[in-house]
Structure 1
Amino acid sequence: MDLEESDKVICKPSNIEEIEGGCMFVARLENSDENLLNKVVHNADEAYALYNDYALRMGFCIQKGKLKYYNGTKNIKQREFLCSKEGFKLDEDFCKEKYLKRPETRTGCKTFVHFIVENGVWRVSAFNLEDNHKLALQSERHLLRSGRRISKPRADVIDTMVNVGISAKNSYSYLTTEVGGSENVGFTERDCYNHVNMQKMIMISAGDVQSLLNHFKSKHAEDPMFFYTIQVDQEN
């Protein structure tokens, strides 16, 4: 589909008409919430949020697709977002030993949205609804990867609780209780663990050895059975 064309319409797997050139198109959706064609936003974050919100309502995850720039500049000309099940996994080298073989999740899904950027305005120029896989149920949509995010206020709560000795598990449990269940908190328990581990790695990667020693001391204060030892080289 050529993104330079100005008259784009929504593609859909049912009620399809064949028009000149062999392309398959249908009329626009009557439901304005589902019809993203010609919707306008003003930056990349808003564009991602527009399609991601739609995808989460429908029950699928998204990923970033192709990005094109105006010739000789770093100004974005076109941007696409795709279903996370787009395409197929490349053939593996079966002679190579795999430590962890993950199940294949891609199905070649054709769902996408294309944005054209003109004078700082991001406009949806093409929008395809043609999915070929099972969509997440309402009760499962909070688990979709592109919909999971730890907001700044909730990250602050987790950091504060962990810093006073409360486990990541109990911090997550507290937050889910506060908002009425894990489906409302916006992220999973694993995301909470990952956030806590990332904060620890940031502290260590800053190069402050004393911060690491202070962390060990605080762990020892919490648990007398916690043990650590230090070995230094000739330069101390």
Structure 2
Amino acid sequence: MIEEPKKGMEFNSLEDLLSYYKSYGKKCEFGVMKKRTERGEDQTARYITLACARGGKACNRTFNVANPCPIGKTECKAKINALRSDRKLRLTTVHNIHNHGFSPKKSHFFRCNREVSDAIKRVLDMNDMAGVRMNKSFGSLIVGAGGFENLPFLEKDCRNYIDKARHLRLGAGGAGALREYFLRM
């Protein structure tokens, strides 16, 4: 059971605070984002604001007026502020009132709740090296999990991971090696 955040709660580190508020957001069915962070001279977080993911104003970037993009921002004011004192982060401000509805069936698809585990990353790497296409690899993960709703991530998260892994495999000087290969050809 995760208790509601209250003014004066203390956390040992920024990671503890983030994991607590993400867990609370997942339980209460809203997404969490870092809104503002100030770091001290030693690069530790001195002040942090965590907010509802639907906070802020939506900028309208629609180029086609006939087909507008859905807007997820509602200027929600729900947030917590934490200040470092005595090597601990202490909550100084807590606003828990949201101005939007919640999505109980979609809460695990919020960006803050999606994560590809290390075991899945190894499977994706092996399939990628074997030449298995991403949609086939993701399909096998869906079957293994017993359905799409049982996976804690989306296909896009898998694609992003593989793109990053391929870029790292190419390594430093990879562009030069590729150029040399084409020159030899």
Question: Which TM bucket (shorter chain)?
Answer: 0.7 to 0.9
Q: Tell me how far apart the structure 1 counterparts of residues 14 and 50 of structure 2 sit (CA, whole Å).
A: 11
Give the superposition deviation at 1:48.
1.2
Q: Which residue of 1 aligns with 2:23?
A: 53
2:52 is matched with which residue: 77, 83, 96?
83
Q: Given the alignment of the two structures, is residue 169 of structure 1 paired with residue 139 of structure 2, yes or no? A: no
**Secondary structure, aligned partner of 1:154:** helix
TM-score for both structures, normalised by structure 2: 0.80
Question: Compared with structure 1, are the counterparts of its residues 68 and 200 closer, same or farther at alpha carbon in structure 2 (3 Å cutoff)?
Answer: closer
Q: Tell me how far apart the structure 2 counterparts of residues 211 and 232 of structure 1 sit (CA, whole Å).
A: 10
1:126 is matched with which residue: 77, 93, 98?
93
Higher share of residues assigned helix: 2
Query: Could you say which structure has the larger radius of gyration?
Result: 1
Kindly report which structure 2 residues correspond to 1:189-208, keeping only aligned pairs within 5 A, or say none. 189-204=155-170, 206-208=172-174
**Secondary structure, aligned partner of 2:106:** helix
Q: Tell me how far apart the structure 2 counterparts of residues 203 and 129 of structure 1 sit (CA, whole Å).
A: 44
Structure 1, unaligned runs of 5 or more = 1-31, 214-229
Q: Tell me how far apart the structure 1 counterparts of residues 131 and 176 of structure 2 sit (CA, whole Å).
A: 19
Q: Which residue of 2 aligns with 1:183?
A: 149
Name the amino acid aligned to 2:99: N
Give the superposition deviation at 1:131.
0.7
Q: CA RMSD in A?
A: 3.1
2:10 is matched with which residue: 20, 40, 57?
40
Q: Tell me how far apart the structure 1 counterparts of residues 167 and 68 of structure 2 sit (CA, whole Å).
A: 27
